[in-house]
A and B are shown apart, each in its own frame.
Chain A
Amino acid sequence: MAAESKKVLYGLYNDEENLKGAVQTANAAHLDIMDVFTPFPVHGLDPILGLKESRLHILGFVYGAIGALFGFLAMTWIFTSDWPIVFGGKPYWSVPAFIPITFEMTVLFSAWGMTITFYTICGMWPGVKANTLDNRITDDKFCIAFDVTDAPDSDVKNLQGFFTNTGASEVNVKMM
């Protein structure tokens, strides 16, 4: 997130269908798209962009397993050695009675773990400043962005032509 180090050329589209068409055109022309920004999730965009399926759910399983193990072992320790109490004639280590809390710990660890991981990966910690290309891409504009920091002028012209041909309503350059 170093300030003002990247030169970005981006075009705004009014419609998500235009955007999808433009991305396909860019793929066909072997243009190297830096990123695409949309105000809402656009169905069918991920496979066109070649994005892989998120691996967050694998971590969710791992966190859940840790939570289950933690809950079960904690209860085992509490009820067998730390503070044994007799409830309803059950043995101290009564596994069926541990199931609800083990389940709750699984859900808790999985949910919090995935949330924290997601925010960490996205670089969203408390107090972070939003660094958007254009405020309207959180409202009603769809954006394709190219990194043109080291690109020669001919490439930039080529990209501007691409935006014009695919129906972009606006083309801008921004340092970020």
Chain B
Amino acid sequence: MKWGMYVDMNACVGCGACQVACVSENNVPVVGKGEVHRHHEMTWLRIDRYFYGDLENPKVVYQPLMCQHCDNAPCENVCPVAATNHSMEGINQMAYNRCIGTRYCANNCPFKVRRFNWLDYTTADVWPANEERVFHAEGDELPYYADNLVRMVLNPDVTIRSRGVIEKCTFCIQRIQEGKLTAKSESRAIMDSDVRTACQTACPTGAIVFGNLNNPDSEVSKMTKAAGAMAYKVLEEINVRPAVNYSVKITNSNEELYS
């Protein structure tokens, strides 16, 4: 078992549905403009945009970028407390409770996909002693997430992260576990349909495919194989061996056909 992903950048239209789905599935804190301005954005999946062509009317390539779950993960080597390491299924996993917030992993990540909880965004740590210092939007009496009604938005399958902890894409580990249990209870091998990540389900064009890379018959293996030389891994030259394959975006540069 080795979980992996295939992202077809020809299909991607850059709508951002995967990002929204990820935020709502994984209890990723919505930090607001002020925090984003301080580079405290928390999204596990972001959409990189690359512009080219005419300056006034540029063409654009969208690239959804999540944790690449590298086999030779640079982030794992530098953790002094072994809070991030590899699962037997090729997933780069985080133990939030073990994390002491040195941020070495984020500094060592070539893709900048690790996120640090600078403040207690989800009010995971609200108790009287530190209540005043939790993340507050200006003017609000209560921290946003401390409101009981707002808390109902949280996904009970995913833990919320407290201040001083690094978090990142888990390949929707809760869905993987659920899929494995389903397969186990039905006494069969796990299938593609058992596990679908949040971003995959949200993508309107089916650009994101997730599955077992070790199974040559899985959809992700087939799609990667079909892409052939068009499939590539981001920053392949640094040899971190990501588990996510992207396909090169092909456009017809004929002016009459493509404008």
**Residues of A in contact with B (beta carbons under 8 Å apart):** 85-90, 97
Contacts and interface: CB of A to CB of B under 8 A. Distances in A.
12 contacts: A85-B86, A86-B85, A87-B73, A87-B79, A87-B82, A87-B86, A88-B72, A88-B73, A88-B77, A88-B86, A90-B77, A97-B77
Nearest to B241: A89
Chain A interface SS verdict (over half): loop
Given A85-B86, A87-B86, A97-B77, 17 more contacts: A85-B85, A86-B86, A87-B73, A87-B76, A87-B79, A87-B82, A88-B70, A88-B73, A88-B74, A88-B75, A88-B76, A88-B77, A88-B86, A89-B71, A89-B72, A89-B73, A89-B241
A87 B74 CA distance: 9
B131 to A, nearest CB: 37
Interface centre among A86, A90, A97 (most CB of B within 10 A): A86
B77 A85 contact: no
Contacts, number: 30
Q: How many residues of B sit at the interface, in one of the four size bands?
A: 10 to 19
Interface of B: 70-77, 79, 82, 85-86, 88, 241
B186 to A, nearest CB: 30
B74 A85 contact: no
B202 to A, nearest CB: 31
A173 B72 CA distance: 76
Contacts of B74: 88
Contacts of B70: 88-89
A71 to B, nearest CB: 16
Contacts of B82: 85, 87
Of B70, B73, B79, which is in contact with the most chain A CB atoms at under 10 Å from its CB? B73
Contacts of A85: 82, 85-86
Give the top 3 A-B pairs by smallest Cβ distance, nearest first. A86-B86, A89-B72, A88-B77
Contacts of A88: 70, 72-77, 86
A85 B93 CA distance: 11
Interface centre among A85, A87, A88, A97 (most CB of B within 10 A): A88
A89 B70 CA distance: 8
Contacts of A89: 70-73, 86, 241
Contacts of B241: 89
Contacts of A87: 73, 76-77, 79, 82, 85-86
A105 to B, nearest CB: 16
Contacts of A86: 76, 85-86, 88
A86 B86 CA distance: 5
Contacts of B85: 85-87
Contacts of B88: 86
